[in-house]
Structure 1
Amino acid sequence: MEDKSKISNGKALIPFLIFVAIYLGSGLILQAQGVEMAFYQLPAPVAIFCGIISAFFILKGSIEEKFNALIEGCGNQDIIIMCTIYLLAGAFASVAKAMGGVDSTVNLGLTYIPAQYITVGLFIISCFISISTGTSVGTIVAVGPIAVGLAQKSGLSMPFTLAAVMGGAMFGDNLSVISDTTIAATRTQGCEMKDKFNVNIYMAAPAAIITIILLLIFGRPGVAPVMQTYDYSIIKVIPYLFVLILSLAGMNVFVVLTVGIILAGVIGISYGDLTILSFTQEIFNGFLSMIDIFLLSMFTGGLANMITKAGGIQFLLDKIQKMIKGRKSAEFGIAALVSLTDAAVANNTVAIIINGPIAKEMCNKYKVDPRRSASILDVFSCIMQGIIPYGAQMLTLLSFTKGTVTPFQVIPLLWYQQLLLVSVIVSIFIPFTDRTIRKKPWNWSKKEDSNVQV
């Protein structure tokens, strides 16, 4: 395949459209048939592989040229870094959970939060677990059943209680330094996790604070549930704090996660929750838990490189740029692209990986700071993912109610997501989130690879 950086060819986007059509189409068909978790039945790596196969038939060039472009994209340095972080993050989450870290965190919160503030408590607990573990679905699985039970005992509105859990889960999914969305957003834009966090927190904090105030006002139960002292160990919460604090301090993420895994393992072995053998098994289970996103990232990088060399990305940029007049409209363009993609594929990490290269090109042209573009990619994809009724988060949360609550009862009450949307839109017009950016201006003179795919 001839590599011409400015070649523009709309036909080159067809393999990507085939991937979206297969992934989205299978979800719609299965949902119409009443299949649970319909959009997650067809593995995303298989869908992207179908797109890769089609690229060999559609794109110009010899098989060897196209294969070399595929492997070049799959083996891109940023792709490998991102995938390695995925594996370590999965291992840390698996080991920390196995040694009782999640249970201790939940029980610690439930023990000390007053019964009349239980809704606020569930939101805060969900925030902490999600930012510590990097997974919104995992947070919902841990807190959801407890929230349902407390709502039933206290007379609280079930949709209201579930919305509080959902908001907290998406708070950490968007901010956690070990979340796959954060990893994907920072690697695609070429910025540091701590810098993205410092920009992102100014968007998320106001939304979280106002949500807490609203929950304090409207979230008091009619009948305060009988609270009790739950079993917990403060020691088992330490690995989460360790990873969070050191990551934000700027320590190398590989070192932080590796030491975090060892620390969680030592605590688990000391308390008898793990043996040396089960510790190693949990590390491997953590690796396996990330295999889908690992393969998807690798294949997406390969397909994106094939499409880029064939002129697909340039064609898309040419079309987008006709609607963009400057930095602000570029930021809205990035937001719209990632939101629409997430609505189509119901996976915020996939949406970020797909749109990352396009966002990077737009950053270079319109001087959008990559720390802001990383935050915008992450925020808008998480907002959409936390609202769509067919997302894994919503479907998992509602499964605990056994069909008594519908997504459309919960969606209007998702105050955190709604406030976060307002916050990020305001930040585009009033740069109140740019304190870190002003202190450390981006070095635009630094030569960057405009074809980086992750």
Structure 2
Amino acid sequence: MEKENDIKGNGLALIPFLVFIVLFIGSGIWTGDFYQMPVLVAIFAAILTALFMNRKTDFQTKLQQFTEGGGHSNIILMVVIFLLAGAFSTVAEGMGAVDSTVNLGLAVLPGQLLIVGLFLIACFISISMGTSVGTIVALAPIGVGIADQTGSALPLTLGALISGAMFGDNLSIISDTTIAAVRTQGTKMKDKFRANFLIVLPAAIVTAVIYGVLTAGASGSTQGDQSFEIIKVLPYLGVLVFAVMGINVIFVLMGGVISAGLIGLLMGDFSGMELITLIGDGFAGMQELSLLVILLGGLVELIRRNGGIDFLLEKISSRARSSRGGEFSIAGLVAAVNVSTANNTISIITAGPLAKQISSRFGIDPKRSASVLDIFSSSVQGLIPYGAQILSAASVASISPVSIVPFAFYPILLALSGILAILFRFPRSHANQK
């Protein structure tokens, strides 16, 4: 078996990754639907390509390398977290937590602040649910109604919704992007959250101010049933509070599932068997992502053994002379992959191992590299018109996805905040002073 120090940089080792990109993106360009090609089919074709490369290594050894990469402890733990996050989101939604939280916000907001309120509600829902797409699907009909009542343009209203959804997707401790960023960089969830929050908070505040100024003359009020039950908001609050306190994410998610389940049972929202079904549905909803993580882990290991990772390290960091340059390399890498794959989770999982090596080379704090990964992938994801977030909102409102992009202020400001944070070394870290 080859030794680690025998691995030499080899650009040809990246061919499997290019196969994945060409299949995943090429099919979207060819068909006009960037979700036409199943991602598992694309990744499996890339794996087969990798397995039949490098004739110096026998096939059985390459299979062993693949399974070692896919079965790495970080990969399996990530899968467990994904499954628990899916269960919590499904159970919480099943017992009415989303509706109660939305109605609570709408009931206390004056008409002239409805667009700002929609942004803030989307922030809270997404940081609680851990999914930007789920937040958009839940709130888009409300956003359309608010646009009708206030006279605001639909693209502006949905831009506020996209902005809030991406805020939570970037920060939530049960977001698959956050989980992927933390696990690939080997840092703690609470540390990444705190570092990330300090960077993105100014962007969120400025975003709210912009929406407030643009809709200052709007008037209107929400109509219809706005009933809510505070008790149903508690699981979301509990998950958020305990995560920030630094409780192990496994315990946080298990507690979230149990509390949401108990409240749902006590309130009569579902029976015991229905609760079990909801948990199963939550697991099932994360199965494709979990399998993708395992397969990508194996593919990245094959590419690494063939010298692809070392080659990228040499090329990407060749002009970097400090941790600042390393961070820009990580930002550019994950942004490029995200533009190609239209999926911020996939981009983080793909770029994560390389980002980890760049961080080690330049002494970048793991929580810092995790923040950079998540910030720039979320920024790109919230601005590409062929991404699931904007496509989902546009389909509900029956408008062009492109028309929403100029009003998605938060993803734009998020990228700006990330750039400024790298340039001015904010927030400071003891492990990152070069």
Pair 1:407-2:374 in alignment: no
Q: Which residue of 2 aligns with 1:14?
A: 15
Comparing 298-307 with 41-50, which one deviates more in the overlay? 41-50
| Aligned equivalents of 2:383, 2:222: Cα separation in 1 | 32
- Distance between the aligned counterparts of 1:111 and 1:95, measured in 2? 24
User: How far apart, CA to CA, are the structure 2 residues paired with 1:119 and 1:353?
Assistant: 34
Name the CA distance, whole Å, in 1 between partners of 2:258 and 2:8. 49
Bigger shift: 267-276 or 317-326? Answer: 317-326
Corresponding residue to 1:40 among 22, 35, 43:
35
**Paired residues, number:** 432
Residue-by-residue CA offset, 1:100-137 (whole Å, 9 max, x unaligned): 01111111111111111100000000000000010000
Unaligned runs of 5+ in 1: 32-37, 445-454
Specify the SS of the correspondent of 1:40. coil
Shift of 1:381: 0.4
Matched, 1:375 2:371: yes
8 A Cα contact 2:91 2:260, kept in partner? yes
Q: Which runs of 5+ in 2 are unaligned?
A: none
Task: Give the superposition deviation at 1:42.
Answer: 2.1
- Distance in 2 between the 1:155 and 1:443 partners? 50
Indicate the residue corresponding to 2:420 in structure 1: 426
**1:225 shift after superposition:** 3.2
Q: 1:264: which partner in 2?
A: 260
Contact 1:154–1:224 (CA under 8 A) maintained in structure 2: yes
Question: 2:178 — aligned with what?
Answer: 182
Aligned partner of 1:209 in structure 2 is 205
CA distance in 1, matches of 2:335, 2:433: 28
Q: Deviations over 1:390-442 (max 9, x none)?
A: 0000000001112xx323322112211121121111111212323xx34xx47
Change (3 A) 1:171 1:226: closer
Q: 1:226 to 1:24 in 2, by over 3 A?
A: closer
1:66-105 Cα deviation digits (max 9, x unpaired): 0100110011000001111000000000000001011111
Cα deviations across residues 117-158 of structure 1 (Å, max 9, x unaligned)?
100000000000000010000000011111101101221111
Q: Does 1:197 align with 2:193?
A: yes
Deviation at 1:187, TM superposition (A): 0.5
User: Does structure 2 conserve the Cα–Cα contact (< 8 Å) formed by 1:144 and 1:165?
Assistant: yes
Q: Equivalents in 1 of 2:29, 2:224: separation in Å?
A: 44
- Alpha-carbon shift at residue 229 of structure 1 (Å): 5.5
Q: Which amino acid aligns with 1:119?
A: I
Contact 1:339 1:381 in 2 (8 A): yes
Determine the structure 2 residue equivalent to 1:395.
391
Which residue identity does 2:14 align to in structure 1? L
Secondary structure in structure 2 of the residue aligned to 1:388? coil
Corresponding residue number in structure 2 for 1:35:
none
Does the 8 A contact of 1:134 with 1:178 survive in 2? yes
Partners of 2:343 and 2:381 within 8 A in 1: yes
Cα distance, 1:174 vs structure 2: 0.2
CA contact (8 A) 1:12 1:312 kept: yes
Aligned residue number for residue 356 of structure 2: 360
Match of 1:289 in 2: 285
Structure 1 Cα separation of the partners of residues 269 and 211 of structure 2: 36
Secondary structure at the aligned position of 2:262 is classed as helix
The answer to whether the 8 Å contact 2:326/2:358 transfers is yes
Q: How many angstroms apart in 1 are the aligned matches of 2:316 and 2:426?
A: 27
Question: 1:306, CA displacement in angstroms?
Answer: 1.0
Question: Deviation above 6 Å: which 4+ runs of structure 1?
Answer: none
Query: Which digits, 9 at most, give the CA deviation of each residue in 1:216-274, with x for residues without a partner?
Result: 22123544235456111110110011111111111111111111101101111111111
**Cα distance in 2 between the residues matched to 1:193 and 1:43:** 30
SS in 2 for 1:343: helix
Corresponding residue for 1:448? none
**Which of 41, 45, 48 lines up with 1:50 in the alignment?**
45
Decide whether aligned partners of structure 1 residues 243 and 315 sit closer, same or farther in structure 2, where only a CA change above 3 A counts.
same
Following the alignment from structure 2 to structure 1, what is the Cα–Cα distance between the partners of residues 179 and 191?
12
**Aligned equivalents of 2:224, 2:388: Cα separation in 1:** 31
Give per-residue Cα distances to partners, 1:346-370, cap 9 Å, x unaligned: 0000000111111111111111111
The residue identity in structure 1 corresponding to 2:274 is S
For residues 165-213 of structure 1, the C-alpha deviation after alignment (integer angstroms, 9 at most, x for no partner) is 0000000000000000000001110100110011100111001111111
CA distance, structure 2, for counterparts of residue 358 and residue 334 of structure 1: 8
Aligned residues of 1:8 and 1:314 also touching (Cα < 8 A): yes
Conserved? CA contact 1:265–1:279, under 8 Å: yes
Q: Report the 3-state secondary structure (helix = DSSP H, G, I; strand = E; otherwise coil) of the residue aligned with 1:400.
A: helix
CA distance in structure 2 between the partners assigned to 1:57 and 1:432 by the alignment: 45
| Alpha-carbon distance between aligned partners in 2 of 1:282 and 1:46, rounded to the nearest angstrom | 28
> Does the 8 A contact of 1:111 with 1:228 survive in 2?
no
Is 1:417 aligned to 2:411, yes or no?
yes
TM-score by length of 1: 0.92
Please show how residues 96-111 of structure 1 align to structure 2 within 5 Å.
96-111=92-107
Partners of 1:196 and 1:4 in 2: CA distance: 30
Is residue 43–residue 292 contact of structure 1 (8 Å, CA) maintained in 2?
no
- Alignment map for 1:19-418 (pairs within 5 Å): 19-31=20-32, 38-60=33-55, 61-220=57-216, 222-227=218-223, 230-402=226-398, 405-418=399-412
What is the CA–CA distance in structure 2 between the aligned matches of 1:270 and 1:422, rounded to whole Å?
46
1:451 alignment counterpart: none
